Amino acid sequence: MPDALTDLAPVSPPRTPARRSAGLGEALRWTAFRMLERLSDWRGNNTQGVFALSDPQARGPALWLYVTTIGELNAVAPMLEWLVAQRPDLRPVLITEHAHYQEAYLARLPGAVVCLTRGHSLDARKLAAQLPPQVLALAEIPCLPSDAPCRFSYAFLREARRCGASTLLLNGWLYHYAPPARLDQVERQLLEADFLRALDVLCVQDAATAQILAGRGAAEDRLVVTGNMKFDAMQRPHWQVSQARSPGLLGALIEAGRPTVVGGCVTELAEQQAVLGAFQRLRQQHPQALLILAPRHPENRERMQALLAQVEAQDLRWVRRSAVPDAALPESVNCLVLDTVGELRDFYAAASVAHVGVDHNVLEPLGLGKPLTIQEGWNTTYPSYPVYRLLRDQGVLHSCADEAALHAYWRAAIEGAASVQDDLRRTEEVLSALRGSVARHQQACLPWVAR
């Protein structure tokens, strides 16, 4: 990510891309790893037996895409849409280890196939046999094997190379995580440099990431500092409520104009309690106020029960999004619990003011021009941190230490305070200066994507 609010210089990709052979050393290292993986299989490797396709009959040349979460899919969507448009001859295949993302992924890319896998080598071979890739794009992470709380194994990258696919890293960034399991540790030790050399172009967010990857085996002539495309992706000037998955409910909320607080990805119980307490204070001045509360992992029953217990204790009239029709909410409802996957980004459009939970995506509400609050305590290893750090350093994130501070800012935002309008103008100035990464990505990747 650039340190100053200036555009990065245009990139200069290779004019005539040349493929590089892996070599005998890589083949020997891969053979050693496969022997260890087979031993792990015999002992009960939990990456086995997960492989599934949303369309089991799908066949033909493919564009493989690895995106870790719904948030990351939204963050790199302009680039993925460009790739799909560049190669309409290829069937998009979204690779994931999260079955509960399938519906949201297909809503974003309706023509895609979702491949569920935990990264076993045999899964990579099966997928390549059925949907052989011509292009593979890794979106944001992992830049290194097992450098994230998700798993994209070298096996998939190797199969893509074996099929002759171009291999692209988009919006690259490092978590600096240690591999979680013994076999993952071995994979990194044996195959890290091969992983990096198997990528034709590595688009990374900042010079520090480029320097680290070069030191660990990436070819410097394949590294391109492009900035962070999240600043482009969160622009939504042409968004319409008809594009949402719940247009009836969301459209009615926007039309009603109720004072609405959207709390997105509020996962920690202490922060949830602060949000609920601030909302109760807000209702004293605005009795018709509505709280839309979106937990990070609605599929986690224990977490949901704890959240709902807190809501119940506040004596709010609440409903789950999954339990109501796509129609206007009754005016008596004080709290909508957004327990569906992939809808939060659209529901920010109904916000009078938004609050984003620690370690999550502040750009989604900011991209819609919404006033925003956060709390402190962000983890430097999370993918949201680079954006948080930059915007914090530019003074455009409003941090609230407790429920009293949250209430004060929310009330000011709802009542149109001049100070909040000044915050919004300053935020837009900063965001505008940080855009342009998608164009740099396209320039760097075009030689590898064109037929």
- Residue labelled with tokens 């070069």: 214
Across-strand partners of 373? 355, 398
Distances (CA, A) of 40 to 123, 181, 189, 427: 15, 11, 17, 51
Mean pLDDT over 28-46 rounds to: 93
Give the pLDDT band of residue 11 (cuts 50, 70, 90): low
Tell me how far apart the alpha carbons of residues 345 and 348 are, in angstroms, rounded to a whole number: 6
Question: Is the pLDDT reported for residue 6 higher than 80?
Answer: no
Question: Is the pLDDT reported for residue 115 higher than 90?
Answer: yes
Tell me how far apart the alpha carbons of residues 384 and 392 are, in angstroms, rounded to a whole number: 12
Q: What are the tens digits of pLDDT across the range 215-227?
A: 999 999 999 999 9
Mean pLDDT over 99-127 rounds to: 92
CATH 3.30.420.40 assigned to domain 241-433? The reply is no
- Residue labelled with tokens 């509960």: 100
Give the pLDDT band of residue 352 (cuts 50, 70, 90): very high
Question: Is the pLDDT reported for residue 10 higher than 50?
Answer: no
Span of 146-160, 307-321, 401-415 with lowest mean pLDDT = 146-160
Across-strand partners of 133? 62
Fill in the DSSP letter of residue 178.
P
Please tell me the predicted confidence (pLDDT) of residue 140.
75
Please tell me the predicted confidence (pLDDT) of residue 171.
92
CATH architecture designation of domain 24-235+436-449 = 3-Layer(aba) Sandwich (3.40)
Please tell me the predicted confidence (pLDDT) of residue 3.
41
Please tell me the predicted confidence (pLDDT) of residue 326.
95
Alpha helices in 376-436 (DSSP H): 385-393, 403-414, 418-433
Question: Is the pLDDT reported for residue 410 higher than 60?
Answer: yes
Across the chain, which distance is largest between two alpha carbons, in Å? 72
Q: What are the tens digits of pLDDT across the range 222-249?
A: 999 999 998 997 777 678 899 899 999 9
Alpha helices in 263-343 (DSSP H): 269-285, 301-313
Mean pLDDT over 327-355 rounds to: 94
- Topology alike, domains 24-235+436-449 and 241-433: yes
User: What 3-state class would DSSP assign to 376?
Assistant: coil
Q: What are the tens digits of pLDDT across the range 254-288?
A: 999 999 999 999 888 899 999 999 999 999 999 99
Continuous segment of H or E residues that includes residue 100: none
Question: Is the pLDDT reported for residue 303 higher than 90?
Answer: no
Pull the structure tokens for residue 65.
């895409």
Q: Percentage helix, strand, coil, to 5, in the chain?
A: 45, 15, 40
Question: Is the pLDDT reported for residue 423 higher than 90?
Answer: yes
Ranges of each domain in the chain: 24-235+436-449, 241-433
Please tell me the predicted confidence (pLDDT) of residue 256.
94
Tell me how far apart the alpha carbons of residues 156 and 152 are, in angstroms, rounded to a whole number: 7
This prediction has a pTM of 0.79
Query: Does residue 139 or residue 8 have the better pLDDT?
Result: 139
Please tell me the predicted confidence (pLDDT) of residue 236.
72
Span of 15-29, 207-221, 317-331 with lowest mean pLDDT = 15-29
Q: What are the tens digits of pLDDT across the range 356-376?
A: 999 988 999 998 999 999 999
The torsion defined by the Cα of 346, 351, 356 and 362, in degrees rounded to 10, comes to 60
Rg (CA), the chain: 23
Question: Is the pLDDT reported for residue 84 higher than 70?
Answer: yes
